[in-house]
Structure 1
Amino acid sequence: MSFLRGHWQLFLLLALVFALWRTPVVYPLRIFVIFLHELSHGLAGLITGGSIVDISLDPREGGHALIRGGNRFITLSAGYLGSLVLGALILVTALRSRADRAALALCGAALLIVALLWVRTPFALIFCLSTGAIMLAAARYLPHQAADLTLRVIGLTSLIYVPYDIFDDTIRRSALQSDARMLAEEFGGATVLWGGLWLLLSLGVIWLCLRHGLGAQSNIHFGRSATEGGKTAGTP
């Protein structure tokens, strides 16, 4: 019961995200997680010596990142797992630090930079530019607690969406041309093997995130000043 009292807001946010999953309310969050997926492919390509040619998002919740060079194995593996790690970092930042506005501004800046450098398709360009501008404005003008809440919603959405997407794309519908299928075609193994491995790794990342991110109490205390931060979970 004490655990529920200490984290009831997160449980409520989780329930709301589930309840509104197929509504326009959560749709931009799902597209943002897809953006993190494609960005992770791109970052993996850059880190392993390649270059990003193009990043695109699809309104039907798809996307692609065209990478030239780099380590193909790492680049293919980075999409699902990288987006989950980024989402977990966003959630832990909200739960355990006072850098909520800075993190929100960083997300907004990343959207704008990617849009200017690598995005060419209309939907992706409109989404990245508008969402990036909104995030920067939110980081500047929202109260600290509201910025904290925004990051929590983004992080929770990533933690929900990525494992579901791995299961749906690589196990339930293994015939799809997914990252796991391309990995199987190029490096051996079956699509469901790589998908299953990624699913296990994603669940492990979620467990580590919750274990080290929650603390004894994670509720936001609205009404406190920004200097107090409105959270107690930031103290290890």
Structure 2
Amino acid sequence: MPPDILSPSVMPTTLNFSHSLTFHILIPRADSHPNTFQTNTVIAACVMFIAIIIAWNLPILRDFIAALKLFTVGVHELSHLTVGLLCGGQVVSICIDPNDGGATHVMGLMRTTPRIPRNPYVMPTFAQSFWSPSAVATLAAGYTGSSIVGFLLVFCAFDIVASKICALVIHFGLLVPVLRADHWIAYASIIVCEGILIGLWFGDHGNALRFYVLFLGVMNLFYVVWDYVDERLFDKRNTSDCAQFSELLGWPTSSWAIVWFVYDSLVFTSAIFAGIMVFRRSDDQMYSEASHFLPTR
């Protein structure tokens, strides 16, 4: 038999070894279950979703979390700004407000010639006639950017050390609105939120920081909910992105809210599974790592 031809008795053995090696790697991950530490994190995230809906809209509580709202709205508008510049647009103005929402105006993204309507019996609006892929990408970047930041924060909330790293980023992110804040409520909220963030760092090796990071992660990830509800309840000055999608591409505003909510729910589920699968540590291991990373005592 020539040396370059494998006998039938050799081929099945090689394939079986390859398959068994693959299944050996995948099966332990598939059989892994969340521990108590991770289960409590998932439950807390679901409770925080309800808490944010209430706190975002109630008069007193919405002022108390104004700093976190500024952070969330700022991330959202920064995503619009970044993609708009990458698409060749020119930023005219940007507004970040904890109650009126955000608004980023970018010029140079719409078509210069109108589109030919597919249905001659239905007259499209001005925006629907001149929309372009660049305009749609810039508009979609807001919810997409918020979901990415929310994914990372929720994912890191499954580990104490990762939460400490996120807390450092959040610390500087909360200080940025100070440059543009023009009301004492915003300043007071920033001071309170910064004080809570620093205080949680010194307790139990920073274990409670996970819930601070998780809270802000859920707030960023489901920004479409607060954006849409805010518009419906308070008729805010800056319209939601769902309304912008409706104006640009058609469909009712509520339909776009459902589409983006389903997308955010999938991202949220992915963040939970990623956190459970990656941070496979016991409580003692996590506490030991946290006590050696920027220790406070």
Q: TM-score, normalised by structure 2?
A: 0.56
Alpha-carbon distance between aligned partners in 1 of 2:289 and 2:240, rounded to the nearest angstrom: 45
Alpha-carbon distance between aligned partners in 1 of 2:271 and 2:227, rounded to the nearest angstrom: 18
Alpha-carbon distance between aligned partners in 1 of 2:243 and 2:46, rounded to the nearest angstrom: 32
SS for the counterpart of 1:55 is: strand
SS for the counterpart of 2:98 is: strand
Matches within 5 A, 1:108-127: 108-116=171-179, 118-127=180-189
Which amino acid in the other structure matches residue 139 of structure 2? L
Is the alpha carbon distance of 1:8 and 1:53 closer, same or farther for their aligned partners in structure 2, counting shifts above 3 Å? closer
Deviation of 1:179 (Å): 1.5
Alpha-carbon distance between aligned partners in 1 of 2:214 and 2:95, rounded to the nearest angstrom: 29
SS for the counterpart of 2:96 is: strand
Which residue, out of 16, 36, 41, partners 1:10? 41
What residue number does 1:106 align with?
Answer: 169
Alpha-carbon distance between aligned partners in 1 of 2:279 and 2:94, rounded to the nearest angstrom: 44
Q: Is the 8 A contact 1:76 1:179 kept in 2?
A: yes
Which residue, out of 54, 73, 95, partners 1:37? 73
Is the alpha carbon distance of 1:40 and 1:95 closer, same or farther for their aligned partners in structure 2, counting shifts above 3 Å? same
Is the alpha carbon distance of 1:219 and 1:33 closer, same or farther for their aligned partners in structure 2, counting shifts above 3 Å? farther
Alpha-carbon distance between aligned partners in 1 of 2:79 and 2:207, rounded to the nearest angstrom: 30
Alpha-carbon distance between aligned partners in 1 of 2:35 and 2:162, rounded to the nearest angstrom: 25
Which amino acid in the other structure matches residue 102 of structure 2? H
Which residue, out of 116, 140, 151, partners 1:88? 151
CA distances 1:52-89 after superposition (whole Å, capped 9, x unpaired): 5431112xxx4223445486534433333332321221
What residue number does 1:57 align with?
Answer: 98
Q: Is the 8 A contact 1:115 1:129 kept in 2?
A: no
Q: Is the 8 A contact 2:228 2:257 kept in 1?
A: yes
Matches within 5 A, 1:1-236: 3=34, 5=36, 7-14=38-45, 16-17=47-48, 20=51, 22=54, 28=64, 32=68, 35-49=71-85, 50-51=90-91, 53-58=94-99, 62-69=100-107, 72-95=135-158, 98-116=161-179, 118-132=180-194, 134-135=196-197, 137-138=198-199, 141-142=202-203, 143-159=205-221, 161-162=222-223, 164-165=225-226, 168=229, 177-185=239-247, 187-190=248-251, 191-215=253-277, 221=283, 227-229=288-290
Aligned-residue CA RMSD (Å): 4.1
Q: Which moved more, 1:141-150 or 1:82-91?
A: 141-150
Is the alpha carbon distance of 1:149 and 1:192 closer, same or farther for their aligned partners in structure 2, counting shifts above 3 Å? closer
Q: Is the 8 A contact 1:46 1:70 kept in 2?
A: no
Alpha-carbon distance between aligned partners in 1 of 2:154 and 2:143, rounded to the nearest angstrom: 17
Q: TM-score, normalised by structure 1?
A: 0.68
SS for the counterpart of 1:64 is: strand
Which amino acid in the other structure matches residue 146 of structure 2? S
Gaps in structure 2 of 5+ consecutive residues: 1-32, 110-134, 292-297
SS for the counterpart of 1:119 is: coil
Q: Is the 8 A contact 1:55 1:64 kept in 2?
A: yes
SS for the counterpart of 1:229 is: helix
Alpha-carbon distance between aligned partners in 2 of 1:97 and 1:225, rounded to the nearest angstrom: 7
Which amino acid in the other structure matches residue 189 of structure 1? G
CA distances 1:151-195 after superposition (whole Å, capped 9, x unpaired): 234334555x5464467468x88x98421112322x221223432
* Identical positions, percent: 17
Alpha-carbon distance between aligned partners in 2 of 1:155 and 1:31, rounded to the nearest angstrom: 14
Which amino acid in the other structure matches residue 9 of structure 1? N
Alpha-carbon distance between aligned partners in 2 of 1:54 and 1:163, rounded to the nearest angstrom: 17
Between structure 1 and structure 2, the one with the greater Rg is: 2
CA distances 1:4-47 after superposition (whole Å, capped 9, x unpaired): 74633124424653675536898556872563134322332134
Alpha-carbon distance between aligned partners in 2 of 1:188 and 1:19, rounded to the nearest angstrom: 31
